[in-house]
Amino acid sequence: MKLHSTNSHIKGLTILEVLVVLFVLLLLAIVLMPASNVRRHAPGIICMSNLKQIDLGFLMYASDNGGKFPGPASATNAGTMEFSRFGHPFPQFQKVSPYLTNLDVLVCPFDKTRQPAINYATLTDSHLSYFLNADASTNHPARAILSGDRFLRVNNQPVNPGWFLLTTNLNLGWTPKVHLGFGNLAFADGHVERSMDNLNALVQNQPLPTNRLAIP
């Protein structure tokens, strides 16, 4: 009887221990899975935050310069039209430097080939992860793309640095290895969107007939 009682007690403890372990594992899965997702998507969240700050910097510049961004304005009107003729976005970023003092926001956390510039005097395209639309306007701002991730591709080929003309007949997408197949866009009204399969539709919805992207 004692032997039977002891065996039952041991078996009972073993089952209880298994249940406890399963319960603990379940709790860990519930707690750790969201944290894992946050860590996985954290760089993308930071990238959206970067574009939001870029957006606000350009909007503050426009507010102080007759509602115009630096790209479409000439140098005599505090713009960068003449300096951007080769498709370099960095002169526009330099122009808004009083409103965008943190140079770290100009580099995407996923963009391992780029490092922030030490200061605006040394800023070049190699310190940028984001394109600028040189024709962006505050007219119809909710539809007008102002900036976005430089990881664009057309017909499955990466877009080269320099000028890139947006047209409605392009088959646009994002380089899949950078943002896991999606990209981020900043609009002229201050909002930022994550774009995946709707990039072509957003381009077709642009309010301007010409949209020249300066790709770093």
Lowest mean pLDDT among 50-64, 66-80, 181-195: 66-80
CB 192 within 8 A of CB 117: no
pLDDT over 60 at 199, yes or no: yes
Give the pLDDT band of residue 105 (cuts 50, 70, 90): very high
**Alpha-carbon 112 to chain mean position:** 14
> How far apart are alpha carbons 16 and 36 in whole angstroms?
29
Lowest mean pLDDT among 26-35, 175-184, 192-201: 26-35
Q: Tell me, yes or no, whether 142 lies in a domain.
A: yes
Q: Tell me, yes or no, whether 112 lies in a domain.
A: yes
Q: Tell me, yes or no, whether 8 lies in a domain.
A: no
Domain total of the chain: 1
Q: Which domain holds residue 51?
A: 43-215
- At 78 the pLDDT is 59
Q: Tell me, yes or no, whether 206 lies in a domain.
A: yes
Average pLDDT over all residues of the chain:
80
Q: Tell me, yes or no, whether 2 lies in a domain.
A: no
Three-class HEC string of 60-124: HHHHHCCCCCCCCCCHHHCCCCHHHCCCCCHHHHHHCHHHCCCHHHHCCCCCCCCCCCCCHHHCC
In the chain, the amino acid numbered 185 is L
pLDDT in tens, 138-156: 888 999 999 999 999 998 8
Q: Tell me, yes or no, whether 119 lies in a domain.
A: yes
Q: Tell me, yes or no, whether 92 lies in a domain.
A: yes
- At 158 the pLDDT is 92
Give the pLDDT band of residue 133 (cuts 50, 70, 90): very high
